[in-house]
């Protein structure tokens, strides 16, 4: 799945009737232009010549304010990840997931729950995610390793494990089972 970042179109392109200035800037520019003659670029030159007072103390205060905003933003993101980690079943229960693990598991857990809602947990093999991918009959061509949802695998292990048509235990590489916390 590819994600692309889209650049927002300039407001003047989408809405040519709407100005890009805030109300204060519009009021200020109206009063400035009423005093001046209507020359080609006089208003633009006057605005550029206004020096900005940025002394060392102003710069330090701006940097401190920016740092405080960034700390608040980071703390907010970390709090959200902590809350998300509590909702995702893991094994062992006290394992702390990294941010990328949390996002990936949350995504697969949402997909698993959607399959459970659509197909129900009462599928013939107890694997709603597997049934959604390969059909209810479990059509496999035998050439690919059988993929299985981590959450279905966890439920399967709790139920004593299923065997495939050949009587062999299903082997899943790189998947750790997850335990759903009972409340």
Tens of pLDDT, residues 126-179? 566 665 555 544 444 555 555 567 777 676 666 644 433 333 333 333 334 444
Q: Would you tell me the crossing angle of helices 150-158 and 99-119 to the nearest 10 degrees?
A: 70
Report if pTM > 0.75: no
Please state the φ and ψ torsions of residue 46, each to the nearest 5 degrees.
Answer: -65, -40
Query: Where are the alpha helices (H) located in the chain, listed in sequence order?
Result: 11-14, 23-35, 42-48, 56-87, 99-119, 128-134, 150-158
Is residue 1 over pLDDT 60? no
Residue 8: pLDDT band with limits 50, 70, 90? very low
**Rounded mean pLDDT, 114-128:** 71
Residue 172 is encoded by which pair of tokens? 């899943």
Is residue 5 over pLDDT 60? no
Res 62: pLDDT: 95
As a whole number of angstroms, the distance between CA 49 and CA 169 comes to 78
| CB-CB contact of 128 with 152 (8 Å) | yes
Residue 117: pLDDT band with limits 50, 70, 90? confident
Is residue 105 over pLDDT 70? yes
As a whole number of angstroms, the distance between CA 181 and CA 90 comes to 8
pLDDT in tens, 35-76: 555 555 555 555 666 566 678 899 999 999 999 999 999 999
Res 14: pLDDT: 44
Please state the φ and ψ torsions of residue 37, each to the nearest 5 degrees.
Answer: -80, 165
Residues 6+ apart with CB under 8 A from 164: 146, 170
């Amino acid at each position: 799945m590819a994600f692309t970042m889209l650049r927002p179109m300039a407001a003047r392109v989408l809405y040519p009737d709407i100005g890009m200035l805030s109300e204060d800037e519009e009021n200020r520019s109206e009063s400035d232009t009423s005093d001046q003659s209507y020359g080609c670029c006089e208003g633009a030159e006057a605005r550029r010549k206004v020096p900005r007072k940025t002394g060392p103390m102003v710069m330090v205060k701006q940097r401190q304010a920016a740092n405080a905003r960034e700390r608040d933003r980071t703390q907010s993101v970390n709090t959200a990840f902590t809350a998300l980690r509590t909702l995702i079943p893991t094994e062992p229960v006290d394992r702390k997931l990294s941010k990328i693990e949390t996002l990936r598991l949350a995504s697969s857990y949402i997909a698993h729950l959607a399959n459970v809602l659509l197909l129900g947990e009462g599928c013939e093999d107890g694997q709603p995610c597997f049934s959604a991918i390969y059909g209810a009959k479990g059509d496999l061509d035998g050439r690919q390793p059988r993929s299985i949802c981590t959450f279905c695998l966890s439920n399967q292990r709790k139920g004593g494990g299923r065997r495939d048509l050949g009587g062999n235990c299903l082997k899943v590489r790189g998947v750790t089972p997850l335990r759903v916390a009972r409340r």
